[in-house]
Structure 1
Amino acid sequence: MIMTQTTTAPDRAPEHEARLQMPELAPDVYKAMVRLDTAVRRNIDPVINELVKIRASQINHCAFCIDMHTKDALAAGESVERIVQLSAWEESRHFYSPKEIAALELTEAVTVLTDGFVPDDVYARAAEHFDETELAHLIAAITVINAWNRFGVATRMVPGHYTPAGS
């Protein structure tokens, strides 16, 4: 990830500092997470992967990951409109394919786990659109972004400085 430093505009609240730096303090854990993320990325549709990452990050209130994955999605050609509507995708279904909707439903079920399990109907809808290998990788992608979100929120990673590769 490429980071750039910017200053906060005078009419905005001051930027907070991160609590700690995971890559420096737990380098083996951080590198393992990067490897896991890379393995998932090789085996999932890149558009669905970014939609999953953004939606889970919204649910988990991870501002750093929302910033990063929104920028990555835009750099990859995703539309602003679809990204903006993602937080209300259930009311904006017409922006997404049935396969993307199934991925978003599964993302919410795996991320929230309010009932302690992923409902059978949500899993069945995802299984209609993804073969077993794709479904395994989708579940892995959802799991990985949830882990990244927990690192980001717990350490208060600072959003706004990420620049997508190639930018």
Structure 2
Amino acid sequence: MSTNDNDTRGFVPEHTPRMEWAKLAPDVYKAMWQLEQAARKGLDSSLYHLVKIRASQINHCAFCLDMHTKDALAEGESVERIIQLSAWEESKHFYTRKEIAAIELTEAVTVLTDGFVPDEVYERAAEFFEEAELAHLIAGITTINAWNRFSVATRKVPGHYKPAGARS
């Protein structure tokens, strides 16, 4: 998207980030990165992208949505499944039962104020994930929620991220 003043479409200019928290708190950033790497071990990459995207949608984290949708697309995820993710309850046929269980758990962990994680949501996830895999999934959901909060609080600007293979 262009932010050029001569652009006839009239896009609003990018906002200014509040701070570069990773540079100001490098030890925290490194610890978050290590948590990210540890959490994703043993999880299917496609499923993990869906979890990151869904949590980021709920948290209204535009920076993380930009990043994780681009990463998912770069790894072969379909545009259709990404688009339908915000309305997954009406488009379950795009996802496996295991993915749906992970998406439900993502929503429950992300929105704890809606009554914590209901037993039925946890039990459904436990049907599809071995215990260690479920622990990593919960860690991954927790991690993306933390990334979202850092990005939203510091107003990271979306639109400039390029997946690893596309960087120049």
TM-score normalised by the shorter chain: which range applies? over 0.9
Letter in 2 for 1:8: T
Q: How many residue pairs get matched?
A: 162
The two structures, once aligned, show a CA RMSD in angstroms of: 1.1
Q: Which residue of 2 aligns with 1:142?
A: 141
Distance 2:88 2:115 in 1: 23
Distance 1:118 1:29 in 2: 27
> How many Å apart are 1:89 and its aligned residue?
0.4
Q: Is the 8 A contact 2:40 2:137 kept in 1?
A: no
Tell whether 2:124 aligns with 1:129.
Answer: no
Distance 2:55 2:128 in 1: 20
Q: Which residue of 1 aligns with 2:163?
A: 164
Tell whether 2:53 aligns with 1:58.
Answer: no
Distance 2:3 2:70 in 1: 19
Distance 2:38 2:141 in 1: 13
> How many Å apart are 1:40 and its aligned residue?
1.6
> How many Å apart are 1:38 and its aligned residue?
1.0
Distance 1:165 1:133 in 2: 28
Distance 1:7 1:147 in 2: 30
Unpaired segments ≥5 residues, structure 1: 1-5
- 1:89-108 Cα deviation digits (max 9, x unpaired): 00000000000000000000
SS of the equivalent of 1:163 reads coil
Q: Is the 8 A contact 2:2 2:11 kept in 1?
A: no
- 1:82-138 Cα deviation digits (max 9, x unpaired): 000000000000000000000000000000012442000000000000010000000
Q: Which residue of 2 aligns with 1:8?
A: 3
SS of the equivalent of 1:12 reads coil
SS of the equivalent of 1:99 reads helix
Unpaired segments ≥5 residues, structure 2: none
Q: TM-score when scaled to structure 1?
A: 0.94
- Which segments of structure 1 move beyond 4 Å, counting only runs of 4 or more? none
Q: What percentage of residue pairs aligned between the two structures are identical? A: 72
Q: Which residue of 1 aligns with 2:66?
A: 67
Distance 1:22 1:89 in 2: 33
Distance 2:145 2:159 in 1: 20
Q: 1:6-155, aligned counterparts within 5 Å?
A: 8-9=3-4, 10=7, 11-155=10-154
Which is further off, 138-147 or 110-119?
110-119
Higher relative contact order (CA 8 A, sep 6+): 1
